[in-house]
Amino acid sequence: MTTNDEVRAGRRIGSGFAEGVAAALVALVVAVIGLYAFSAVQWPAFNSSNVTRALTTVGQVVAVALLVVSVLLIRLRKWPVVAKLASWVGISSFVTVTLGMPLAATKLYLFGVSVDQEFRTEYLTRLTDSAALRDMTYVDLPPFYPAGWFWIGGRVGNLLGMDGWEVFKPYAIGMLAIAAVVALVLWAQLVRADLAVGAAAAVTAMTLAYASPEAYGAVLVVFIPPVLVLAWGALHRSSGGWGAVLGTGLLLGVAACFYTLYLAIAAFTVVLMAVVAAGAAVYQRRAEQRPRVGGARAVAGPAPWRAAIGPLVKLVAIGAIAGVLALVVWAPYLLKMLSGAKLPSGNAFHYLPQSGAELAFPMLEFSLRGALCLLGLVWLVVRAGSSRRAQALGIGVVAIYLWTLLSMAATAAGTTLLSFRLEPVLLAVLAAAGVFGFVEGAGMIYRVLDESTPVRTVAMVLAVLGALAFAQHIPTVLTHEIDTAYTDTVPTETPDADGTFGERADKRKPSAVAYYHEVDQAILAQTGRPRDESVVLTADTSFLSFYPYFGFQALTSHYANPLSDFKARADTIAAWSKLDSPRALLAAMAESPWRAPDAFLFRRDTDTYTLRLAEDVYPNDPNVKRYTVAFPQSLFADPTFTTTDIGPFTLVTVRR
């Protein structure tokens, strides 16, 4: 029979879900309107003018004002619907203006199409071209990197008729705005409504400053702190909590579809929580069965170890829910491995910057973020024995430091656990704790002092000033990422005044990317096949970020599909370059264990064609060594090959 508690829990879940959908729609409308308005004006480049910075600050002030209004209405218990709408619009507009206004004069997102953003754009381009789960680079391979964020973005781009690289910016900003608002709704299910607004705002601000360049990970960072509270609510209870189990499992499953590392740290933390909860339950059971003072008999009952079953069963349930959802994107890759594919050979974990070799202590910095993190740490320690929220977030902080130490220890085995990428998560967790600490600290001071003293007013003013000071500093934190979005070149379909098919948002001379349009048209004309049916071997892999051709070799082994056999491919390319005749090259290509290139895109160097490839040299930092492979021009002196010089490139297509 269904109990009243179960009915209430079901209604609460349904209500929370409905609110989440409504909040997401509000955030979508805000992001669309904001980004459209930004794009309708010809703004100066962010890196050469302070106009967009000034307007960003104005927008942030308006957004923070909406959040303040929301908190005041909640505290006054007036107009609850207006308070919710104000918080949703405030959070989503804060995300939209903080990222959208600085990037208003460029079509590119943070970091442009450089470094890591190159392969992310390539992935989005691939899944915009087709809804099929395919590897970003290699033909006939399922994807290794979780496709969730990119698949959704691809469908958005396809629906809007935009190329993958072009939809990246509006999709990334819009998705982050939606995630921040839905995370606010989740917070509101877990804590008091005014605290929820403060915690969500602080976590969102930290995420924008330190995680937004990795857009597909940022949408998870805003969820991790409330998910920790939700998970602990499920695991520490002796009975009930199955709604929280379901919610935690679903959110971990989404993480599995979006970003493997954040799934790993979240799952690691939840396992740690289960162990702590099980240990505490056993200890409590033993205490209950211990003989009483004065010789009273102990309370009889089942063996103490049985108390651990509840948390562990819930842990298994969470894992099962997450695992089923993860199969949505992981099933093709797992099936490929089970089919007898060669064992993976990727180097995705072969990176150890200095930040990955040290423990991060943001709470000891002399800065606004340092002050908030320090306040959060103090609150976590002081309230560890009395607050479930503090326990949940505290275990999260401990888990991050444990993961970091494990990552450092793993270097002895020749790998890492990429702990340097967890700093945004640590900042988000401490920021949430800092908000709780600030509110409780202000309340304590208010009670200690004469209650007529305007402590609450002073606290509100300080909180708003601190929020504005940190918010307007976010574009400064992202200066390099924003600058790159303005200095990278994008291809165009129509020539500019100089006759080049490319432009930079800062209006300076474009790079060799300006010739990509002509290269693309030549490949289409000479092969007679659609882009996604041709394989191109090139070291200018950003070409694959703009056009959905498959590549014969990825940018580096760290981004390559582990099933691609990156090193063997590199050795094969080098071996081809040393052959002595076109016939020998054609024969070698025919015998390749992988589909041979339909086109080569080289750089010219006197009498050779060159490819600048990459080699993994971990544990060195930098972890990539560049080297050049030169093909004699005579290798392509055969009617089977068609050679075309385009700007600094030489395109060689293969007639089949």
The 10s digit of each residue's pLDDT in 44-90 is: 989 888 999 999 999 999 999 999 999 999 999 999 999 999 999 99
Comparing 318-322, 441-445, 466-470, 636-640, the range with the smallest average pLDDT is: 441-445
- Split at pLDDT 50, 70, 90, the class of 475 is very high
pLDDT of res. 283: 79
pLDDT(343) > 70? no
Residue 251 phi/psi, 5° resolution?
-70, -35
Spatial CA neighbour of 91 closest among 72, 71, 109? 71
Q: What is the mean pLDDT of the chain?
A: 91
Given a cut of 80, whether residue 599 has pLDDT beyond it is yes
Higher pLDDT, 448 or 580: 580
pLDDT at position 5: 58
Q: What is the 3-state secondary structure (H, E, C) of 374-396?
A: HHHHHHHHHCCCCCHHHHHHHHH
**Are residues 143 and 135 in contact, defined by beta-carbon separation less than 8 angstroms?**
yes
Confidence label for 352 from pLDDT (cuts 50, 70 and 90) = confident
Write the burial class of residue 576 (CB in 10 Å: 0-12 exposed, 13-18 middle, 19+ buried): buried
Instruction: Label each residue of 14-69 as H, E or C.
Output: HHHHHHHHHHHHHHHHHHHHHHHHHHCCCCCCHHHCCHHHHHHHHHHHHHHHHHHH
At 297, the pLDDT band (50, 70, 90 cuts) reads: low
pLDDT over 90 at 450, yes or no: no
Where residue 345 falls among pLDDT bands split at 50, 70, 90?
A: low
Using alpha carbons only, what angle is made at residue 148 by residues 147 and 150, rounded to the nearest 5 degrees? 65
In the block, residue with structure tokens 């270097």 = 411
The SS3 call for residue 617 is coil
Evaluate if residue 183 carries a pLDDT over 70.
Answer: yes
Amino acid letter, 78: K
* Helix, coil or strand: residue 492: coil
User: Is 281 a residue whose pLDDT tops 90?
Assistant: no
Q: Any idea which of 57-71, 222-236, 439-453, 491-505 has the lowest mean pLDDT?
A: 439-453
What average pLDDT does range 13-21 have in this prediction? 85
Q: What is the pTM of this model?
A: 0.94
| Amino acid identity at 584 | A
Quick one: what percent of the chain has pLDDT higher than 90?
75
Query: Given a cut of 50, is residue 1 above it in pLDDT?
Result: no
* Calpha distance 210→423 (Å, rounded): 8
Q: Which residues pair with 608 in a beta bridge?
A: 605, 632
pLDDT in tens, 218-271: 999 999 999 999 999 999 876 678 889 999 999 999 999 999 999 999 999 999
On the question of pLDDT at 305 being above 60, the answer is yes
Rg of the chain over Cα atoms, rounded to whole angstroms, equals 28
280 residue type, one letter: A
User: What number is the average pLDDT over the span 191-201?
Assistant: 96
Please check the confidence at residue 294 and state whether its pLDDT lies above 60.
no
Joined together, the tokens standing for residue 388 give 């479930």
Q: What is the pLDDT of residue 623?
A: 82
Of the chain, the percentage scoring pLDDT greater than 70 comes to 94
Q: What is the pLDDT at residue 115?
A: 82
Task: Give the pairing type, strands 649-654 and 599-605.
Answer: antiparallel
Which of 83-97, 386-400, 435-449 has the weakest average pLDDT? 435-449
Q: What is the mean pLDDT of residues 118-129?
A: 96
CB contact burial 483-508 (16+ within 10 A = b; e otherwise):
bbbbbbbbbbeeeeeeebbbbbbbee
420 three-state secondary structure = helix
Dist CA 121 CA 432 (whole Å): 31
